[in-house]
Structure 1
Amino acid sequence: MTGSFWWDLLVGVAATMLVAWLVLVVALVVVVRPRGGLLREALRLLPDVLRLIRRLAADKTLPCGVRVRLALLLAYLALPINPVPDFIPVLGYADDAIVVTAVLRGVVRRAGLAAVRAHWPGNDDGFEALARLTGIRTMSS
């Protein structure tokens, strides 16, 4: 096998990874992204949401699948490698907010609103914003 084969293979793999990355970014921004001003709210709520995730992940009364998802989410947020690097303005942290929103939607559907409300560390306005982000309805809305 010649050097040209390995070069072509390397370029092909790099091009494939680039296309896969672009598809992931588009999916995050277009499909899962919170609508309207909700992305800004998601970024504002991030400290409370991180405490919520940690508390929910430690709650032994929740289904194991929910706790595993939350633990994986915490690991994702702790990793220095993201699909969109944090040094890119706006989108750098927006991808974290989008992933958190998507996971929390599933957690609320599976664990229920009461479990999430019981562990919410912030104020009622913050919880209302979280409810809008996850697409759930609260008693006051």
Structure 2
Amino acid sequence: MSMFARLRNWAQRIKRDALTLWFALRDPATPWPAKALCWLVVAYALSPIDLIPDFIPVLGLLDDALLLPGLIWLAVRMLPDAVLAQSRLRAQAWLQEGAGKPRSRAGFWLVAGTWLVMLALAGYLIWLR
């Protein structure tokens, strides 16, 4: 298998697992620590904006290439086997239907809120000088 094919396969698994977490979040059998991490990962993964914009060289792609896959991996590991299996089946069915990527308003507000807090903190530190 070529490197490009392996990379494409990895990206498809990441996309499927992000959607898997979306379904696991709604499953009552998901324990609350896993549910909390799933909420954070899903909110960020499905957010229409990034914490680190992609146009920033190197750093802009770090969240998509390292941070998000790492958090998805951790959240998947926290899920009970039955919830993970059922959620993966639902995610696979969703992707085969071509239903598209769900959006997260919570993710938008999570990222926008983080940016506002950072800007306020920067303004406060500048004001102190």
TM-score by length of 2: 0.49
Q: Which of the pair has more CA radius of gyration?
A: 1
Higher RCO (CA < 8 A, seq sep 6+): 2
